[in-house]
Amino acid sequence: MMTPYGKQEITSDDIESVVKVLKSDFLTQGPAVPQFEKALCDYAGSSYAVAVNSCTSALHIACLALGLTSKDIVWTSPITFVASANCARYCGASVDFVDVDPETALMSVDKLREKLIEASKNNRLPKIVIPVHFAGQPCDMKEIYVLSKEYGFKIIEDAAHAIGAKYQGKLIGCCQYSDITVFSFHPVKIITTGEGGCALTNDKSLADRMTLYRSHGITRDPEQMTKISKEKWYYEQTCLGFNYRLTDIQAALGSSQLARINDIVRKRTKIADWYDKNINLGLLSPLTRKENRESSHHLYVLIIKKGGVDRDKVYRHLIDSGIGVNLHYIPVYRQPYFNMKIRLPGAEQYYKSAISLPIFPAIGEKKLSKIVREIENICK
Ligand SMILES: *Cc1c(COP(=O)(O)O)cnc(C)c1O
C-alpha cells in the first residue's frame, strides 16, 4: 500500500463529537460553529473568527471584505496552491507573483521591496499582498508589514499550512502583522473538518463584512439594517453574498481536533526533526529553518542540491517503492489559466529541485526508516 504524503488523524473523541451533533437539533446554523469560532480565537489570539466551508472561500471573503475590485492587483507567492491566486480572480482583480527564496520557498522580502519600488513608478501597486506560510513556516511578517505601511497595501496571511506555527513567539492567526489570516481544514492539513476553513481578524468591521459574505449578504443585526422592525422574521440582504457556511457537523469535528492541536504539532515536529537527523544530507537539504519561528510542519520538503541526483528519478523511485512523495507546488504562473510568460528564478530553482516526503502524525518509525533507506538507495 502507498504511504500517503499526508493523512488525517481521527480519534474516537472526534467521532463522538460528530455523532452528538447528528443526534442534535441542528446539523447547520446551530451552536457548534460559534463554539468552534470562539475556540479558534482563544487558541490563536485573534478577536474574531469567521468559519467557512473551505480556505478558498475564506480567501474570497477576505478579499471582498478588504474591498478588492476588478481595478485592483493582488500579489502572492508563486509557490502555493492555486487558491491563493484564484481569490483575486473571483473579484475580477489581476494577480502577480513575488519571487521566493529557493531555500525556504517563502516570499522574499527583498524581491517584494524591489517589485514595490518598480510598481510605484508605474502606478501599479497591489491592493493586497498574500504571503503564504509555506510548509508551515511563517514568512517574514514584520518586514512585510513595514512595507505595507510604506506602500499602502493590505495583508492576508495564507496560513492554510500553518495553524499551530509560531512567529516571534506568537501563534499564527493572532494577526499582529496582517489584516486577516486564513486557515484550511482540508484533511491533508494540520487539523480537519473534512472540508472547511476560517478567516481570523482583529478588525470588527472586517469580521462583520466577512460574516455577511459567508451567508448571502443577509443580516438580522438591527445595527446593520436600513429599517427598524420588531418582527423576528425580518432580515435584510445588504450585499451580494454566498453560501459559504460550515456545518455544525464539521465544526464539531474541528473543535475536537483543535483541542489536541499541540499534540498534533508536536508529533509533526518530531517527524521533521527525525528526518533532519536521519537523512544523509550530502546531496539533499531540508528547507532552511528561519530564526525566531516554529513551523507547524505541514510539509517536509527536501531540496536536491546543485549537481546532485535528478529529482524526477528520485521521485519515480520513491513512488515505485510505495512512498507517496509529492511536489508542492508547480509555480502558479505556469498554470495555463494564468497564461503568464514570467519565470521567476527563485521559484524555478525550487520547482526543479523540491520533493515532499510523507509527514503525518501516525506515520511511525518503521515507515520513516524505509523512506530514508529508499532515498539512500537512489542517491548513492
Ligand atoms: C490547501 C490550501 C488552500 C485551500 O484550502 P481549501 O480548504 O482546500 O480551500 C489555500 N492555500 C494553500 C497554501 C493551501 O495549501
Contact call for residues 52 and 83 (beta carbons, < 8 A): no
Kindly give the pairing relationship between strand 236-237 and strand 218-219: antiparallel
pLDDT tens-digit map of 40-88: 999 999 999 999 999 999 999 999 999 999 999 999 999 999 999 999 9
| Of 99-103, 266-270, 376-380, minimum mean pLDDT range | 376-380
Triad 332, 268, 56: Cα angle to 5°: 35
Q: What is the mean pLDDT of residues 258-278?
A: 97
Q: To test the ligand 1 pocket, which listed residue (52, 82, 84, 327) has its Cβ within 8 A of the most ligand atoms?
A: 84
- Residue 84 near ligand 1, beta carbon < 6 Å: yes
| Alpha-carbon distances, residue 56 vs 26, 28, 63, 375 (angstroms) | 25, 20, 11, 34
pLDDT digits (tens, 9 = 90+) for 223-234: 889 998 888 899
Q: Cell digits for 175?
A: 494577526
- Spatial separation of the C-alpha atoms in residues 40 and 201, rounded to whole Å: 11
Q: Which of 208, 212, 220 is nearest to 245 (CA)?
A: 212
Ligand 1 closest atom vs CA 84: 11
Amino acid type, 8 = Q
CA dist 258 and 312 (Å) reads 37
Q: Is 132 in the pocket of ligand 1 (CB under 6 A)?
A: yes
Our mutation pick for probing the ligand 1 site, out of 50, 53, 56, counting the most ligand atoms within 8 A of Cβ, is 56
In this structure, the chain runs to a length of 380
Tell me, what amino acid is at 38?
K
83 lines ligand 1 (CB under 6 A): yes
pLDDT digits (tens, 9 = 90+) for 310-319: 899 999 999 9
CB of 197 shorter than 6 A to ligand 1: yes
* d(C-alpha 218, C-alpha 237), whole Å: 4
Rounded distance between C-alpha atoms, residue 214 and residue 366, angstroms: 44
Residue 368: the pLDDT is 96
Atom 5 in ligand 1: which residue has the minimum CA distance?
A: 55
Count CB-CB contacts under 10 A for residue 224.
14
Compute CA 38 distance to the chain's CA centroid, rounded to the nearest angstrom.
20
99 lines ligand 1 (CB under 6 A): no
**pLDDT for 146 beyond 90:** yes
Is-contact 104 134, C-beta < 8 A?
yes
**Full-model pTM:** 0.97
Q: Which atom of ligand 1 is nearest to the CA of 57?
A: 9
For residue 179, the Cα-to-chain-centroid distance in whole angstroms is 15
The confidence band for 169, taking pLDDT boundaries of 50, 70 and 90, is very high
pLDDT at residue 244 greater than cutoff 90: yes
Distance between Cα 195 and ligand 1 center (Å): 10
- pLDDT of the residue at 166: 98
Residue from 55, 100, 107 to probe ligand 1 pocket by mutation (most atoms less than 8 Å from CB): 55
Question: Residue 343 has what DSSP assignment?
Answer: -
User: Ligand 1 center to residue 153 CA distance, Å?
Assistant: 22
> Would residue 341 be called left, alpha or beta, if left means φ above 0 and alpha means ψ between -120 and 50 degrees?
alpha
| Alpha helical stretches, state H, the chain | 12-22, 32-44, 55-65, 83-90, 109-121, 141-151, 204-214, 248-258, 261-278, 311-320, 345-353, 365-379
Give the CA dihedral 345, 346, 349, 352, nearest 10 degrees.
-100
